[in-house]
A and B are shown apart, each in its own frame.
Chain A
Amino acid sequence: MADIFDAYRPARAWDEMFAAPGVPRTPYLAVFAALQRLGANDLRYRADQVARLFTDRGVTFAFAGDEQPFPLDQIPRVLAAQEWDEVTRGVAQRIRALEAFLADVYGRGRVLEDGVVPRALVLSSPHFHRAAAGIEPPGGVRVHVGGIDLVRDEEGRFRVLEDNVRIPSGVSYVIENRRAGTRLFPGIFAEHRVRAVDAYPARLLASLRATAPEGVADPTAVVLTPGRYNAAYFEHTLLARLMGIPLVEGRDLECHRNHVYMRTTRGRRPVHVIYRRVDDDFLDPLHFRGDSLLGTPGLLNAARAGNVTLANAVGNGVADDKLLYTYVPDLIRYYLAEEPALDNVETYRLDSPDRVAWVLEHAHELVLKPVDGSGGKGIVIGPHAEEAELAVLRAAVAADPRGWIAQRPVALSTAPTLIGDRLEPRHVDLRPFAINDGTDIWLLPGGLTRVALPEGQLVVNSSQGGGSKDTWVLADGSRDGTGARKLVAVAAMPQSRDQQPSPFGDESAAGAAQQMQQ
């Protein structure tokens, strides 16, 4: 029978869904079965429904100056339980090492004394905020929320692409994608085979409360937003609403005698924890940009005095610098005495004239990244670059080697993605979100899968016109043979169970298609 996957030709990369043309990987069997019977028109219809749902709910992203619905591709990305265990172990380990590093560089600086990380690297980082030195955050937590970007290499191994421990964003898409996903695949979710993501707001709130200043019995937490013009404003409102805590702007807060208060219609109310989505530079005009109207003067000293918790802490950017990234495996060994559970992508530092010369010579074969860039800005993929672009790049790199790292181009894994009326392989990455409450590091099951929509593009970032996929982590016990047996059982169930008409089509034939594979 002809189906929508017939024409799907995996690219020269690890394909998330297919081990070979027409042969889905085990975690995808249910999805494959559900989608196989759909025609191109069904897919198109479902895609329109999702786009409308997102526009209605305000799930948009400012791209090139326009508010656009953040494109959700309807083919989910599926991870088996044991794959997720591996990711969880690696991400949690990484966060623990970065926490130890931050405590160290804003404290004694042992890692610099011992020469594990060159002193100049830390001292020359624009995000090493000396004003944050000496602040002891409650519970020792600086990375309340971390987003560790992972990619899968040609062999299907997860590797860390970059760390985000300042203000990682995107979790609202995970929540909204799932909302849409449960409408696209009601049957599969009804079987409880996919781990839920809706615990995130409660987990975040619990972490914020657990890291409140000592002695505060019933802490008040708020979300601090730069305001409605911020690209992630939707996320700020969503998180505040789901956590049931106030959403404030800088002008709603005031500091007095090193305590922070929120202005309300019923007078001043103390604030103990600030989940802030305002960048360091704008947070406190007394210590950073004096012209900032987005922050509140006095916040930093209130934190220094131990009366308010800033989540995430000020100065975390020194740990997610792309140059520091190259040392994270060493930091894991140094602080934790463990081997890294997840490897970096092979990366070259431009720290000697020989290396700089080598990189300049091989720029056309490498990926060059600005150390301080975020959101994919400034990245040059050598093999895809025009000669003129490479010439500009070489000049920029030669002028400021400290400002760049070079990486082996990884053919990021691909996943089937609806492009027009066809499914085509597109490159994806994965941003798991980790929450640290001082005792435990918890990962939101799945995280944000971003997909680069233009063919062959390797930069997957919402600010570069990317889309996303609902990301499923299968519950333990649904993997391998166990999962297959369970699917057979599903097929044996009477179909009347799921007979409500759904605009997204019927995927209750999962089991039947599944059996064809066996």
Chain B
Amino acid sequence: MTSTATGWRLGIRHVTEVAYTGSARSSFNEVRMAPLTLPTQTALESRVEISPPAHAWTYWDYWGTQVVAVDIPEPHERLRLTARATVETSPAPPLPAAPSWEVLRDTAARGPESEYSAATELTRVDEAVAAEARRLAGGLGPHEAAAAIAAWVHGQVAYVPGSTGVGTGAQQAYDQREGVCQDIAQLTVAMLRSAGLPARYVSGYFHPVPEAEPGETVAGQSHAWVEYRAGAWVALDPTNMVEVGVRHVVVGRGRDYADVPPFKGVYQGPPGEPPRVVVELTRLA
């Protein structure tokens, strides 16, 4: 369990602002920004403020993610969502003993993990990429193979903000060798699956400063990384190539981005500008 001696306590403030070129109405949205409570993480509180004032309703979806559904019938020129959370994190647990590839392949085909074994629209890659994944994994144990794939993706795809969009798939990110954490995570997920490891996409937050002083607020980002299944779920951050531990906060896990989007919605009205997003992270203890 989380202990204050080795874990962190983090405060998160995530502001999403959409300005419409005219007036929007009948706006229906879902927000997935609340940290989960897990063996490695405890959510102490989370809430969402909405402007203009709106009806908010919470449910937990198929993936176990907390969803805040927001609807705003009245005309409005801008929408501002502020999600706040306090969460305790802990260092990475030791690697579990990995089963043999044979056992892994069987559970990937038949067990609950099979959900995370098949390609989805955003994680579909061509045979060349799949073959590369198998080549990288060749002769290695599951953990070593996963690490090799993550490192390879990290080396291939440059982190270039703005180079892709929310609908960009793993193959396209690979073809253009550029992307953001979402693309790097989806390509890694795709290749882990190609190599025979069930793999899932993780949405959350990442504190960028390793030895942050308590009380100091830094600019952060909505982040994405991966988990693969080998004995237990093991997390990897192929964008940053750092251990997933006290600085990572898990919000949701799914097959790809589309299962766990932090914010999605539909409305009637003229097109809006791309949302402006600010994430602030504060190590509290």
Report which A residues bind B (CB closer than 8 A).
115, 118-120, 123-124, 130-131, 133-134, 254-258, 285-286, 290, 297-298, 301, 304-305
Q: Is the CB of A134 within 8 A of B60?
A: yes
Per CB-CB distance, the 8 closest pairs between chain A and chain B, nearest first, are A130-B62, A133-B62, A297-B28, A257-B55, A286-B28, A285-B266, A298-B28, A297-B266
Can you show 8 pairs from A to B with CB atoms below 8 A apart?
Answer: A119-B114, A120-B114, A120-B118, A130-B62, A130-B259, A134-B62, A286-B266, A305-B57
Q: Is the CB of A301 within 8 A of B73?
A: no
Q: Which of B29, B69, B118 is most buried by chain A, counting CB atoms within 10 A of its CB?
A: B69
State whether A286 and B61 are in contact (beta carbons under 8 Å apart), knowing that A119-B111, A120-B114 are contacts in the complex: no
Q: Is B161 engaged at the interface, CB distance under 8 Å to the other chain?
A: no
How near does chain A come to B54, taking the closest CB pair, in angstroms?
10
Q: Is the CB of B69 within 8 A of A301?
A: yes
Query: CA A305 – CA B58 in complex, angstroms?
Result: 10
Q: Is the CB of B111 within 8 A of A133?
A: no
Number of interface residues of B (CB under 8 A): 25
Q: Is the CB of A255 within 8 A of B266?
A: no
Query: CA A286 – CA B268 in complex, angstroms?
Result: 12
9 additional contacts (CB under 8 A) given A258-B55, A258-B57: A119-B114, A120-B109, A130-B259, A134-B60, A134-B62, A256-B55, A297-B26, A297-B28, A298-B71
Q: Is the CB of B110 within 8 A of A301?
A: no
Closest residue of chain B to A130 (Cβ to Cβ) is B62
Query: CA A370 – CA B249 in complex, angstroms?
Result: 44
Query: CA A290 – CA B264 in complex, angstroms?
Result: 10
How near does chain B come to A377, taking the closest CB pair, in angstroms?
23
Q: Find chain B residues with CB under 8 A from A254 CB.
A: 26, 73
Q: Find chain B residues with CB under 8 A from A298 CB.
A: 28, 71
Query: CA A297 – CA B266 in complex, angstroms?
Result: 8
Give the contacts of B4-47 with A (CB-CB under 8 A): 26, 28-30
Q: Is the CB of B30 within 8 A of A286?
A: yes
Report which B residues bind A (CB closer than 8 A).
26, 28-30, 55, 57, 59-63, 69, 71, 73, 109-112, 114-115, 118, 259, 264-266
Query: CA A52 – CA B29 in complex, angstroms?
Result: 51
Closest residue of chain B to A133 (Cβ to Cβ) is B62
How near does chain A come to B236, taking the closest CB pair, in angstroms?
24
Q: Is the CB of A133 within 8 A of B61?
A: yes
How near does chain A come to B32, taking the closest CB pair, in angstroms?
13
Query: CA A254 – CA B72 in complex, angstroms?
Result: 12
Q: Find chain B residues with CB under 8 A from A255 CB.
A: 28, 71
Q: Find chain A residues with CB under 8 A from B71 CB.
A: 255-257, 298
Query: CA A256 – CA B57 in complex, angstroms?
Result: 11
Interface residue from A115, A130, A256 paired with B73 (Cβ < 8 Å): A256
Q: Find chain A residues with CB under 8 A from B62 CB.
A: 130-131, 133-134
Closest residue of chain A to B67 (Cβ to Cβ) is A301
Query: CA A451 – CA B7 in complex, angstroms?
Result: 71
How near does chain B come to A297, taking the closest CB pair, in angstroms?
4
Q: Find chain B residues with CB under 8 A from A115 CB.
A: 110
Closest residue of chain B to A305 (Cβ to Cβ) is B57
Query: CA A298 – CA B73 in complex, angstroms?
Result: 11
Q: Find chain A residues with CB under 8 A from B59 CB.
A: 134, 301, 304-305
Query: CA A163 – CA B111 in complex, angstroms?
Result: 27
Q: Is the CB of B114 within 8 A of A123?
A: yes
Q: Find chain B residues with CB under 8 A from A133 CB.
A: 61-62
State whether A123 and B61 are in contact (beta carbons under 8 Å apart), knowing that A254-B26, A298-B28, A298-B71 are contacts in the complex: no
How near does chain B come to A315, taking the closest CB pair, in angstroms?
11
Query: CA A133 – CA B259 in complex, angstroms?
Result: 13
Interface residue from A119, A124, A130, A286 paired with B110 (Cβ < 8 Å): A119
How near does chain B come to A462, taking the closest CB pair, in angstroms?
33
How near does chain A come to B192, taking the closest CB pair, in angstroms?
18
Q: Find chain B residues with CB under 8 A from A290 CB.
A: 266
Q: Find chain B residues with CB under 8 A from A118 CB.
A: 110
Query: CA A124 – CA B266 in complex, angstroms?
Result: 27
Query: CA A130 – CA B64 in complex, angstroms?
Result: 11
Closest residue of chain A to B108 (Cβ to Cβ) is A120
Interface residue from B26, B57, B266 paired with A301 (Cβ < 8 Å): B57
Q: Find chain A residues with CB under 8 A from B73 CB.
A: 254, 256
Q: Find chain B residues with CB under 8 A from A257 CB.
A: 55, 57, 71
Q: Find chain B residues with CB under 8 A from A304 CB.
A: 59
How near does chain A come to B254, taking the closest CB pair, in angstroms?
9
Query: CA A118 – CA B61 in complex, angstroms?
Result: 23
Q: Find chain A residues with CB under 8 A from B61 CB.
A: 130-131, 133-134
Closest residue of chain B to A286 (Cβ to Cβ) is B28
Query: CA A134 – CA B61 in complex, angstroms?
Result: 7
Closest residue of chain B to A304 (Cβ to Cβ) is B59
Query: CA A254 – CA B268 in complex, angstroms?
Result: 12
Query: CA A120 – CA B106 in complex, angstroms?
Result: 12
Q: Is the CB of A124 within 8 A of B118?
A: yes
Query: CA A118 – CA B110 in complex, angstroms?
Result: 7
Closest residue of chain B to A287 (Cβ to Cβ) is B30
Closest residue of chain B to A119 (Cβ to Cβ) is B114
Query: CA A131 – CA B254 in complex, angstroms?
Result: 13
Q: Find chain A residues with CB under 8 A from B69 CB.
A: 258, 301
Q: Find chain B residues with CB under 8 A from A124 CB.
A: 118
Query: CA A254 – CA B27 in complex, angstroms?
Result: 11
How near does chain B come to A251, taking the closest CB pair, in angstroms?
10
Q: Find chain B residues with CB under 8 A from A305 CB.
A: 57, 59
Closest residue of chain A to B259 (Cβ to Cβ) is A130
How near does chain B come to A183, taking the closest CB pair, in angstroms?
49
Q: Find chain B residues with CB under 8 A from A256 CB.
A: 55, 71, 73
Closest residue of chain A to B111 (Cβ to Cβ) is A119
How near does chain B come to A115, taking the closest CB pair, in angstroms?
8
Q: Find chain B residues with CB under 8 A from A258 CB.
A: 55, 57, 69
Query: CA A134 – CA B111 in complex, angstroms?
Result: 21
Query: CA A124 – CA B118 in complex, angstroms?
Result: 8
Query: CA A123 – CA B115 in complex, angstroms?
Result: 6
Closest residue of chain B to A132 (Cβ to Cβ) is B62
Query: CA A298 – CA B26 in complex, angstroms?
Result: 10
Q: Find chain A residues with CB under 8 A from B57 CB.
A: 257-258, 301, 305
How near does chain A come to B96, taking the closest CB pair, in angstroms?
22
How near does chain B come to A489, taking the closest CB pair, in angstroms?
63
Q: Is the CB of A119 within 8 A of B118?
A: no
How near does chain A come to B63, taking the closest CB pair, in angstroms?
8
How near does chain B come to A368, taking the closest CB pair, in angstroms?
23
Interface residue from B26, B60, B112, B264 paired with A119 (Cβ < 8 Å): B112
Q: Which of A124, A254, A297, A305 is most buried by chain B, counting CB atoms within 10 A of its CB?
A: A297
